[in-house]
Homo-oligomer: A and B are copies of this chain.
């Protein structure tokens, strides 16, 4: 899918719509050059340190968690609605067990500004450089949230990524 540069703010509504629906794909890269992807439904976008920034969240149990420590950048790939089964697959299976890109025919393309690749089929791509990581503090999370989302702990790590490039096709 041919892509053109986008103002990242203009990509926000469609990105939030997909986050709230079938999710979007978070790509990361191992130090051995092997990428992985996972479906995420949570992210925020805005301005921090005078820069456009995305914050994404990954649980320690995830394969992506290790990769995010190996390469300090990531891409957020917003797929079209027609690819909901791919989003379901990439949320259920682990990159420890399967090459999700090959399995689902997701075509990798080199990042323009980061080492982590993007996905050709995406309608929108955000390329982000990790400027900060911190962790949720279990004692400071609302009890109702803990009960629903963290019955076994595994509290998310937060990654602050400067948006270095945003491109795609807004229909």
Bitwise interface map of A from 41 to 84 toward B, beta carbon under 8 Å scored 1, else 0: 11111111110011101000000000000000000000000000
Binds B, one of A25-33, A98-106, A138-146: A138-146
Q: Kindly provide the distance from the CB of A34 to the nearest chain B CB, expressed in whole angstroms.
A: 24
Question: CB of A134 within 8 A of chain B?
Answer: yes
A45 near B46 with CB under 8 A, answer: yes
A-B contact pairs, 13 of them (CB 8 A): A9-B13, A9-B16, A42-B49, A43-B46, A44-B44, A44-B48, A44-B54, A45-B45, A131-B141, A132-B142, A132-B145, A134-B134, A135-B137
Q: Kindly provide the distance from the CB of A160 to the nearest chain B CB, expressed in whole angstroms.
A: 9
Q: Given B16, B41, B44, B132, which contacts A141 in the complex, CB threshold below 8 Å?
A: B132
Q: What is the interface of chain A, defined by CB distance below 8 A to chain B? A: 9, 12-13, 16, 19-20, 41-50, 53-55, 57, 131-137, 140-142, 145, 148-149, 158
- Copies of this chain held together in the complex: 2
Residues of B within 8 A of A55 (CB): 44, 46, 55
How distant is the Cα of A134 from the Cα of B136 in the complex, in angstroms? Answer: 6
Residues of B within 8 A of A9 (CB): 12-13, 16
The 4 A-B pairs at the shortest CB distance, nearest first, are namely A44-B46, A44-B44, A131-B142, A42-B48
Residues of B within 8 A of A148 (CB): 49
How distant is the Cα of A50 from the Cα of B57 in the complex, in angstroms? Answer: 13
Q: Kindly provide the distance from the CB of A128 to the nearest chain B CB, expressed in whole angstroms.
A: 12
Q: Kindly provide the distance from the CB of A36 to the nearest chain B CB, expressed in whole angstroms.
A: 22
How distant is the Cα of A137 from the Cα of B137 in the complex, in angstroms? Answer: 12
Q: Kindly provide the distance from the CB of A12 to the nearest chain B CB, expressed in whole angstroms.
A: 6
Q: Given B12, B46, B48, B149, which contacts A49 in the complex, CB threshold below 8 Å?
A: B149
